Structure formats: structure tokens, C-alpha cells
Amino acid sequence: MLLPLCILLVTLVTAAGFVVRRWWFPPPINEYASWFDSYFNLNLAVTGVVFVLVQLALAWSIARFRNRPARHTEGNNRLEWIWTVSTLVVFVSAAAAGERLWSAFQLTASPTGALVIGVSGKQFAWNFRYTGADGKFGRTKVSLINDASGNPFGLDDSDEASKDDITSSQLHVPAGRPIELRMTSHDVLHNFFVRELRIKQDLVPGMEIPLRFRADKPGTYEIACSELCGLGHHQMRSALVVVTAEEFESWLRGKASER
Amino acid sequence: MSFLRRYVFSTDHKVIGIQYYLLALFAVFVGIAFSVIMRFHLSYPEAKVRLFEWLWPATASGGVMTPELYLSLMTMHGTIMVFFVLTTAPQSGFGNYFIPLQIGAEDMAFPVLNMLSFWTTLVAFLVLCAAFFVEGGAPLSGWTAYPPLSAVGSIAGPGQGLGQTLWVVSIALFCAGSLMGAINFITTILDLRVAGMSLMRMPLTVWSWFVAALISLFAFAVLIVGGVLLLLDREAGTSFFLPAGLLINDRLLPNDGGSPLLFQHLFWFFGHPEVYIVIVPGMGVVSTVLSVFSRKPVFGYKAMVIAMFSIGLLGFIVWGHHMFSSGLNPYSAIAFSVLTLAIGTPSAIKTFNWIATIWGGQLRLNVAMLWALGFVSLFVSGGITGLYLGQPALDSYFHDTYFVVGHFHLIMGVAAIFAIFAATYYWYPKVTGRYLSETIGRIHFYVTFLGVYGIFIPMHYAGLAGNPRRYADFAQYDFLKDLTVLHKFITHTAFTTAAVQLLFLFSLFWCVRRGRLAGENPWQATTLEWAHHPAAVHRGPYEYSVPGSRKDFVMQNETAS
Ligand code: HEM
Ligand SMILES: [Cu+2]
Ligand SMILES: [Cu+2]
């Protein structure tokens, strides 16, 4: 009798964690993240019911079928068909439903007026680049990359467009404005992850990968590298600073005058 | 025959089976030791431990573990567990011992090849262990060894020099050993069955080794290619995985034209099927054990065979679910997602059939049965979160968090371990003529069952809070501070769970001489390993409680019931 009780126990305790939510997602800071949460909750409701029912069925049959002769049966094709088709339907509809969220995240181009920001990762730091007044990223050269002299992107100042580019070690964005990050890495793989946005994307050397989002709620949120990049992986941290449009403009001006 | 020919360089499938099992047994205790050391460090990062300093003077000087030591333990833990425990024991260990016995063959088809594959695997293991003792120590790029980190040498970090090279060589050797094994398994099962043993009369264990061998053949063939290309990038200056303009540790590399994503494709084309190589033999054992100790035939034998084959096939076209956030074309994620969730269906079918097998049975809850039932429970708990990870949008939060660590440990790590325990208890009397201690077994089982839930379910909660995996330290982030209590709980549970595994080790060796004596067919089972020199087979593998027969089981080689 001990095993059914143990199964019951772990099932209830596991489920309790998902109901009490002592450890959970941080509050969402945009529409996408709220949508993600409600879609996650839908998945949780369905899988939660299945999880509890199957564990209970297991526990119950262990408790029940003991000291009585076994009932001989080799199977039942009708039952096999029923559970094959019904699980296939559930799984494929989950995949289909999930695609709506995915296309909102990955398959929708940025609206015009989006703010484009360059991102580069390196062992073990983040760098962000803004176009400056001309709205264009200037030329860069790997050979010019030099953190000590404050040129983490290798901006080539012989190009006019480079002269006003602004770099920062934190990601400042104006609230409510669509953002498009253009991400790459100079050395190994890294990953841009902000919990409050519910999105994650690898940075791959040799590729420029776009990442689109909008952050509506002002505040400071942690950026955590989420792809193993070496011994300092656990400290490759930066911040997403969401501010009002005016604050953002004045931050940019301050940065520009530093240059 | 000399001792050496008989027990060391043996071509006897039984000896080779035991050799594989002992290799896995040694490896699993090393792997467990690493895991508790990692857990200890995560919860007590500042503690000074003499033992650490003694073991790793360079990377734990003063007894405090460095991040590179943590990551190298993590890499070795994962590599040892996946390759040298979970691929080695269920498939090569039990498969070698029991395939000939269960199909009524004298030995495997190619006994010398069989010996060679074991020794290749052993050398692979030694090469892997050697990585700890070279300059820079063991590699820190994880069991997945993604380039560029794994391809550019020691400028990317300690351990990425010779240590990483040894890792790659070890894996390539392991692939070679597994390929030899796979060819041997497939040939044996197709060619050496005793008269009357038609395919549809084979026990599900034999089917499962057959399917896993087919998967191995195609999967390891691809991994070995990935390994060789990686080695060339490291040692011969090629650029398969390295693009132009790499600036590592302020050094500009001359490479040009390669793609880091190419390696991920090769790796996961192997890697996803690999999880089935690990779990499918477990499914076979569990089906058998549930049937024997429910005194009922396996429910839906044919559906079980079809499900195993569908898993094997579909397993080769879902690898992209490991790469949803790696920079693939986002449209391809849609295809991979649908295929991934579709593969949940055969897994669900198997679960329903297991429950239907015990339903209406006459359960004998001995220790082998407890492990098999525990397997079903874990398989459900670990499998269900696959639904989240198979959807790219949801995975974009969970990828590379502890949610994934919880998921794969439950379904592939400990579920497979539970199957190994079930198989060990079930077949021990066959191998030694004695039973394993049921009393020790019960204590071991219950503590482990509660323990693994206590370790890996909380990891899901940490993942929900966004806790990234492969972090040597949780102190840098504000949001991780809130998880300290949770991680302490995990660590303490891990220590307890690891400790009771010593009971098993004791029991395993003690009972060889002192266990209760078992008869020829102690479980009243039907398959040929329990029969006396079977000359021919007359029926299916699971004839339990057949109406109208004298006993509640009819062996496969019996002519009349
Ligand atoms: C007592 C039981 C175990 C404990 C406490 C444990 C603990 C851990 C820990 C702490 C990590 C590192 C997580 C991180 O930093 O990201 C890890 C990783 C891993 N474990 Fe285990 N583990 C156990 C058993 C197993 C088993 C049985 C397997 C077999 C599949 C396994 C396979 C792995 C793999 C593949 C990784 C990933 C390594 C990597 O990221 O490259 N573990 N485990
Ligand atoms: Cu990182
Ligand atoms: Cu997979």
C-alpha cells in the first residue's frame, strides 16, 4: 500500500507547487508576455488534469488489483485506436495553437518607426549600439575592437556614419516603442534572455539575428546569458532599462556628448 | 581456458554483458559523486573543502571550487551519465547477456566483434577520465560541446585545450564501439532465432534492443562525423564550424566560412535519437516486468511494437526542437514543433498500455515490480513537460533553464535508471542463482522514489522563475536570490538520495554469495532465459493466466498447456 500513497503524495505536492506559485514567472511587462502567461496557463490546465488523472489511475490500480485472480486479456484494438487518435488530436492542436504565439514573436516584421539597436556578446560582457542622429550604423572592423579604449564594436571612425554611433553596456529603451535588436557575437555562443519579456535568442558568431519586442512598463530588468559561453557564463549579466521617451532621448544626448 | 581468456578478453556474450554492466556501475557512481559535489557547490559556494583541494589542486586551491571546475564536473557528469551509464547498461549490458538467451541462440552473431566493442568502449571511458589529469583539466563546454567554445582551443577557457580534445576522441571511440555493437545486435536478432521464434513471438525486450540498435546505427554514424569534423577544426585548422572574424580572448582567428549551427544539426540529429536509445530498452524491460508480476499478458503487444518503431523513426526528424532559439529559420520551428508533439503519441500509447497491463491483474509487489511501476510514474511526470518544450514560443522561455534540467532528468535520467534497477532485480537470479535482498531493496526504492521527485520537481519551479542552467554560481543575479531555499532543499535531497545508492551497491555484491537461493524459474516467467535448453518455441512471450491452462503461465517452449 505504500507505493500508491507515495505516488499520491508526490502528485499532490507537485501539483501544489503549480497552484501556490511561490516560485513563478515575474510579472509581464508587455502584451506579448501576458499572452504568453495565459497560453501557458491553458497548457498547464490541460496537462495538469492529465498528469493527475494518469498518476491516480496508476496508484489506484496498484492498490486495487492484488489478491484476486488476474483477468486474462491481450489487448483491445478499439481502446488502442481511441487513445491513439485522441492523444494525437490533443498534441497536434497544442502545436497549432502554440504557433500563433510563435508567429507573433518570430514571424512578424517590425512596424516602421521601430528603434534598431545593435547587440554584441563576448566572453563575458554585453554591448549595445545605437545609430546616433543619422539613423545609420557605421562601418566596423574586427581589428579595431578594443574594450579598453571604449570601442567594443570596432567602430571605424573613417566612416562618417560611425562617428555618431553610441555604445552602452546596458540596454536602454523607450517604453512602448517597438524595438528591433540585431544580435551577433564575436567569439562563442551567447543567449539574450529577459524573463519579463518571455523571450530568448542565441547570439551566433557569423550571423546577425533579429529580435523584436516592445517593453511597456518602465523599470530595470536583468539580462541573463542563457547559452553556455565559458567559465564566466554565470556572470554575463546586463540590464534592460525601460524609461519614458523623454528620459530616453536625454540619455541618448548625454551619451552622445560623452563621445 | 586461461582466466584471462575467460573473464577479461572473453568473447562470451554473458561475460561481455557483465563487463558492460560493471563499467556502467563504476561510471554511475562517479557521475553521482560529481552531481552531489556540484549541488554542494551551488548551495555552499564559499565553503572550503579539503577533499576538493586534494582532488583538484589547480582548480580548487584553498578548497574553494572555481567556476571552471564546476563546469568541468558538469560536463563530465553529463557525458558519463548519458554515454557510459545509460547507453552502456540497458543496451550493451543487458542486451548482450539476454538477447541470445531470449531468442534461443548460443551466442551473439559476431563474438569477437562483441569483445572488440566492449574494449573500445572501455578505452573511450579511460580517455574521457584522462581529461581530468591534463593541463587545464576537463572541458567545460557541456555534454553538447557546442563550437566555437569547443573548437578553438584553450584560448576559450581552461579545459578547452587538451581536455576537450580527449573528450572528442573519447566520444568518437564510443561511437565506434556502439556501431560495432549495433551491427552485432541487429544480425543476431534477425539471424539466430531458434525454430518457432517468429518476430511477433519475440519478447518486447528483444524488440526494444532491436529498435535501439537500429537507432544507434544511424545516430552514432552521424555523431562520429560531427566528432571527426570538430577534431579537424581543433587540430588541423579547418573551418567546418568556425566563421570568419572570430575574436577570442583578443586574438583574431584565421578561420573562414564555417557555421556553428552545422554542428548543432549534426549533434542533435544524433542527440534526440540518443534519448530513445537510452529509454527504449527500459520500455522493453518495464513491459516485461509489469506483465510477469501482474500475471497478465502485456496489453496490446502489437501496439507496443508499432509504438517503438514509430518512436524510432519519428525520433530522427524532431532534432530541431533543441534549436528553437539557436537562430534557425523560424518557419522551420513550426515543422519541428508539429513533429515533436506527434511523437508524444506513441509514448502516450505505451503509458496507457502499461496501465492497462496491470489493470485487472494479480499484482506481486516485489522490488523489481516497484521499480517498474516507479518508471511509469516518472515517465508520465517527465514526459508531460515535453508538451511545453515542444512548442517554440513556450520553449523560448524554458530553453536552457532548470525547467529543462528537471524535464530530462525525470524522463531520460532517472526513468532509465529505474528501468536498470528493475532489470537488475528481475534478472539477478538468472545471473547469480540468488535473489537480491528484498528488504534492502524496498528501503532503497522508497527513498530513491521520493528523492528523485524531491530533486527534480523543484528544478521545474526554479525554471519557471527563469533560473538559467549551467551556472556555476547563483549570486550574481537579484532574481536568483529568491531561489536559495529551493536550491538548498534540492541539494539536501540529492545527498540523501545519493547516499542510499550505497545500499544497492552493498546488496549487489553481498547477495552474490549470501542472497536467498533462487530456483530455475523463480518468477514463474514465460520467456526462454528461464527455460532449460529450449529446442523450439511454440507460442508468444506473455502467456499468463490463460483460461483453461493448469498453471498461470505457459513457457514459450512448452508444447501443450
Ligand atoms: C542523484 C542524481 C542526479 C543529480 C543530483 C544530478 C544533478 C545535476 C546537476 C546539478 C546538473 C548541472 C545542471 C547545470 O548546472 O546546468 C546536471 C546536469 C546533467 N545531468 Fe544530472 N544529476 C543526477 C543524475 C543524472 C542522471 C541519471 C543522468 C542521466 C541522463 C544525468 C544527466 C545529466 C546531463 C545530461 C546533464 C547536462 C550536463 C550539461 O549541461 O552538459 N544526471 N545534473
Ligand atoms: Cu553565457
Ligand atoms: Cu530531443
Residues A254 and A152 in one domain: yes
Distances (CA, A) of B195 to B103, B534, B535, B556: 9, 10, 7, 11
- Report d(CA B194, CA B191) in Å as an integer: 9
The mean per-residue pLDDT over the stretch B130-148 comes to: 96
Enumerate the residues of chain A whose CB falls inside 8 A of the CB of residue B325: 191, 200-202
The tens digit of pLDDT for each residue in A36-87 reads 999 999 999 999 999 999 999 999 999 999 888 888 899 999 999 999 999 9
- Report d(CA B138, CA B161) in Å as an integer: 9
The residue to mutate among B278, B409, B469, having the most atoms of ligand 1 within 8 angstroms of its beta carbon, is B409
Q: Tell me the domain boundaries of chain B.
A: 9-245+253-530
Q: Does pLDDT of B157 surpass 80?
A: yes
Task: Give the β-pairing of A171-174 and A179-185.
Answer: unpaired
Residue B490 alpha carbon, nearest atom of ligand 1: 5
Residues A12 and A124 in one domain: no
Inter-chain touch B483–A23, beta carbons under 8 Å: yes
Is residue A73 assigned to a domain? no
Q: Is B413 in the pocket of ligand 1 (CB under 6 A)?
A: yes
What size, in residues, is chain B? 561
| CATH label, B9-245+253-530, candidates 3.10.20.30, 3.40.50.2300, 1.20.210.10, 1.10.730.10 | 1.20.210.10
Task: Give the β-pairing of A209-213 and A190-194.
Answer: unpaired
Is residue A76 assigned to a domain? no
Is residue A71 assigned to a domain? no
The mean per-residue pLDDT over the stretch A143-169 comes to: 88
In terms of residue numbers, what domain contains A93? 2-65+81-106
Residues A136 and A179 in one domain: yes
Residues A120 and A242 in one domain: yes
Residue B402 alpha carbon, nearest atom of ligand 1: 16
Neighbours of A234 (CB within 10 A): 24
Residues A9 and A57 in one domain: yes
- Report d(CA B44, CA B424) in Å as an integer: 36
Q: pLDDT value at position A149?
A: 82
The mean per-residue pLDDT over the stretch B431-455 comes to: 97
| A36 contacts B262 by C-beta, under 8 angstroms | no
The mean per-residue pLDDT over the stretch B116-141 comes to: 96
- All three cell numbers of A234: 554565470
Q: Does pLDDT of A125 surpass 90?
A: yes
The mean per-residue pLDDT over the stretch B423-428 comes to: 98
The mean per-residue pLDDT over the stretch A10-19 comes to: 96
Residues A126 and A191 in one domain: yes
Is residue A74 assigned to a domain? no
Q: pLDDT value at position A148?
A: 81
Is residue A182 assigned to a domain? yes
- Report d(CA B61, CA B507) in Å as an integer: 37
Q: Does pLDDT of A259 surpass 80?
A: no
The CA dihedral of B438, B81, B129, B240, to the nearest 10 degrees, is 170
Residue A130: partners with Cβ closer than 8 Å, 6 or more residues away? A117, A118, A165, A166, A167, A168, A252, A255
Q: Is B41 in the pocket of ligand 1 (CB under 6 A)?
A: no
Q: pLDDT value at position A67?
A: 82
| B315 contacts B272 by C-beta, under 8 angstroms | yes
The mean per-residue pLDDT over the stretch B440-446 comes to: 98
Complete DSSP assignment for B322-362: G-TTTT--HHHHHHHHHHHHHHHHHHHHHHHHHHHHHTT--
Residues A164 and A217 in one domain: yes
Protein residue with least CA distance to atom 33, ligand 1: B78
Grid cell 549570486 — which residue?
Answer: B475
Q: Does pLDDT of A147 surpass 90?
A: no
Is residue A75 assigned to a domain? no
Q: Does pLDDT of B313 surpass 80?
A: yes
Give B318's Cβ-side CA count (13 Å radius). 24
Percent of chain B with pLDDT over 90: 95
Beta-strand runs (E) in chain A: 115-122, 125-130, 166-168, 171-174, 179-185, 190-194, 199-203, 209-213, 219-224, 237-243
Residues A178 and A254 in one domain: yes
Q: Does pLDDT of B516 surpass 90?
A: yes
Number of domains chain A is built from: 2
The mean per-residue pLDDT over the stretch B21-48 comes to: 97
Q: Is B86 in the pocket of ligand 1 (CB under 6 A)?
A: yes
Residues A47 and A124 in one domain: no
Is residue A201 assigned to a domain? yes
Mean pLDDT for all residues in chain B = 96
Grid cell 544626448 — which residue?
Answer: A253
Of the pLDDT bands very low, low, confident and very high (cuts 50, 70, 90), residue A134 is confident
Task: Give the β-pairing of A179-185 and A115-122.
Answer: parallel
Grid cell 528537471 — which residue?
Answer: B406
- Report d(CA B83, CA B274) in Å as an integer: 9
Residues A119 and A237 in one domain: yes
Residues A88 and A55 in one domain: yes
Least confident of B259-268, B342-351, B421-430: B342-351
Q: Does pLDDT of A18 surpass 70?
A: yes
The mean per-residue pLDDT over the stretch B256-264 comes to: 96
Of the pLDDT bands very low, low, confident and very high (cuts 50, 70, 90), residue A150 is confident
Q: Which residues surround ligand 3, an ion (CB under 5 A)?
A: B 272
Q: Which of B125, B424, B413, B98 is nearest to B278 (CA)?
A: B413
Distances (CA, A) of B117 to A255, B122, B173, B280: 63, 9, 10, 21
Q: pLDDT value at position B561?
A: 58
Residues A127 and A225 in one domain: yes
Percent of chain A with pLDDT over 70: 100
Helix pair B13-43, B94-103: axis angle to 10 deg: 150
Size of interface A-B (CB pairs under 8 A): 323
- Report d(CA B317, CA B335) in Å as an integer: 9
Grid cell 551491427 — which residue?
Answer: B183
Q: Does pLDDT of A133 surpass 90?
A: no
Q: Which of B418, B414, B300, B303 is nearest to B369 (CA)?
A: B418
> Which one of B243, B252, B470 has the shortest CB-CB distance to A228?
B470
Protein residue with least CA distance to atom 26, ligand 1: B413
The tens digit of pLDDT for each residue in A95-119 reads 999 999 999 999 999 988 899 999 9
Inter-chain touch A205–B249, beta carbons under 8 Å: no
Q: pLDDT value at position B6?
A: 82
- In B131-203, alpha helices (H): 162-191
The tens digit of pLDDT for each residue in A165-210 reads 999 999 999 999 999 999 999 999 999 999 999 999 999 999 999 9
Inter-chain touch A98–B245, beta carbons under 8 Å: no
